[in-house]
A and B are shown apart, each in its own frame.
Chain A
Amino acid sequence: FDELIVETATKRKQWPKKILMHAIQTMKAEQE
């Protein structure tokens, strides 16, 4: 349970930035 909490919390911290990066790359590629 503890590992799950830490894993989820770490994802909450790090993934939005990664997702944003990928979203930007995708939108730029679409634009091109």
Chain B
Amino acid sequence: PAAPSRAQVFATVVDTFLEKLVAAGSYQRFASCYRCFYKLQPEMTRGIYDQFVSQLQASIKEEIQEVKDEGNLEVLFNSLDKIAEEAQSREEPAWRPSGIPEEDVRSAVVPYLLKHRSYLRKVLKEKEEENGKVAESVLAGRERIAELQQLIQARKRAWQ
């Protein structure tokens, strides 16, 4: 059977607390403390006690609901249950903040730096290839110019 969710445990624990509190503050105990009034009006004593227990339970449940609503606890509990389930296969303790912000923030920046490095490597390679082709054209151009110069020299010599 699946383990109970945090929300269920929370509800159960609070209910158990209330149950045991009410059990401790039993009618017998109440009547024993208010003995003089109980002797005078036993039925009224019962009525007052029942009201007391019912009001106390209602107030406590209302407070719990308020806390859950304010803190958005239902959503948080479900979310934490999911995260904990995903980490089930892991046995060793997970990372925790070191207390040194500059150390901890490093890992947050690393993914971008790695992306940036890949990008730079890529554009550098492209640039090098592009320059290689242009360099070839430049070398060819130089050879052509040398050739033309030689041709001109030959014609000049012939005329001379």
Contacts and interface: CB of A to CB of B under 8 A. Distances in A.
Interface residues of A, number: 9
B104 A19 contact: no
A19 B104 CA distance: 12
Dominant secondary structure of chain A at its interface with chain B: helix
A16 B112 contact: no
B97 interface: yes
Contacts of A19: 105, 108-109
B116 interface: yes
A19 B102 CA distance: 11
Interface of B is mostly: helix
A23 B109 contact: yes
A16 B116 CA distance: 18
A15 interface: yes
A15 B116 CA distance: 21
A28 B112 CA distance: 11
A18 B112 CA distance: 13
Contact of A27 (B97, B104, B108, B116): B116
A4 interface: no
A24 B115 CA distance: 11
Contacts of B101: 12, 15
Contacts of B105: 15-16, 19
Contacts of A27: 112, 116
Interface string A5-30: 00000001001110110011001000
A17 B108 contact: yes
A20 B109 contact: yes
A19 B109 CA distance: 8
